[in-house]
Every structure is written in C-alpha cells, then in structure tokens.
C-alpha cells in the first residue's frame, strides 16, 4: 500500500459522493461538499488515498477555539486497520495549528466503531442529544488539549 494524506480538492468530490451513501445513513450532499471544500474558509477537509484510490476522508470546521468534526469515513475494505485513528489524529493536529483548543463531535450511540475510535483518543461524552439522528440518539463528545 502507498497511502498518502493530503487536502481534499474539488476533484475528490465525485469519489466522496460514491463513498458517502455507503458509509453514512444521512449522507451529505454534493452541494454541501462543494461549499465545504471550495468555499468555506473555516473548513479543513483531508483524505487518505492508496495509489490514487480515495480510501478515507474527514473534515473539521474551526470556529474560534472549537474544532467541530463534521465527518470521518474510511472505505469499508480498509476499516479496522488503524486508518481512522491516524486520520483523526492528523485532523487534531490541524485543529491545533488553527488555534483551536478542543474538538467537538456528535456520534450515534449505536455506532460502536466510531464510539470506540473517539474514546480511544480520549474524547469524553458531554451530553446526550435525544433524536439527534432522527430515530437514533447522539452523544456529544469533546477532546480538550489546553
């Protein structure tokens, strides 16, 4: 494998749109990704590629001292091999360079792989958000580094 980490660009959006409905129950739209990647100055989206194949992506919005994790996904055939953890660690480092002091996210209470990923990096549950995902509850989690 020749895995590379780099910023997402407009050219990645078609590949993201292929993975998005496979990975997420409530996928973001193409317009939302176009806004995030091409326009939003607060947004920072990065990807993993393996020989030009998109195998993972994640994005944050840095709003003053808070970095909001907007999405993180690893292609199914590459999951549970440590890539999600590496990708999220990289995003935490990018949030630090943007002056953020914490990262905030929401996760479905039933999403065991994601929950495990976040707790293994030190995220702590701050509150339950009933019905956050429609028929499922979400937990807000925070990782603070200063």
Ligand X SMILES: CC(C)(COP(=O)(O)OP(=O)(O)OC[C@H]1O[C@@H](n2cnc3c(N)ncnc32)[C@H](O)[C@@H]1OP(=O)(O)O)[C@@H](O)C(=O)NCCC(=O)NCCS
DSSP type of residue 78: G
Measured between alpha carbons, how far is 74 from 116 in angstroms, rounded to an integer? 14
Among 72, 100, 103, 104, binds ligand X (CB under 6 A): 72
Measured between alpha carbons, how far is 83 from 88 in angstroms, rounded to an integer? 9
- Nearer to ligand X among residue 13 and residue 69 (C-beta): 69
The contact mask relative to ligand X for 31-60 (x = CB under 6 A, - = no) is ------------------------------
Measured between alpha carbons, how far is 114 from 141 in angstroms, rounded to an integer? 11
Among 30, 80, 110, 126, binds ligand X (CB under 6 A): 80
Range list of β-strands (E), 53-135: 53-63, 66-74, 102-108, 124-129
Q: Which stretch binds ligand X (CB under 6 A): 35-43, 46-54, 71-79, 95-103?
A: 71-79
Among 36, 84, 104, 123, binds ligand X (CB under 6 A): 84
Among 55, 73, 95, 100, binds ligand X (CB under 6 A): 73
Range list of β-strands (E), 10-123: 43-50, 53-63, 66-74, 102-108
Residues at the site binding ligand X, with contacts judged by CB under 6 A: 23-24, 72-74, 79-85, 107, 111, 113-114, 116-117, 120
């Amino acid at each position: 494998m020749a895995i590379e980490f780099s910023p997402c660009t407009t050219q990645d959006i078609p590949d993201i749109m292929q993975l998005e409905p496979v990975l997420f129950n409530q996928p973001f739209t193409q317009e939302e990704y176009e806004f995030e990647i091409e326009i939003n100055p607060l947004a920072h989206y990065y990807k993993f590629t393996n020989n030009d194949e998109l195998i993972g992506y994640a994005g944050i919005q840095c709003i003053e001292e808070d970095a909001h994790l907007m999405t993180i996904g690893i292609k199914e055939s590459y999951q549970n091999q440590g890539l999600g953890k590496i990708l999220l660690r990289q995003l935490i480092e990018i949030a630090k360079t943007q002056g953020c002091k914490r990262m905030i996210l929401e996760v479905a209470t039933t999403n065991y792989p994601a929950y495990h990923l976040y707790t293994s990096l030190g995220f702590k549950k701050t509150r339950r958000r009933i019905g956050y995902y429609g028929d499922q509850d979400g937990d807000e989690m925070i990782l603070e580094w200063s």
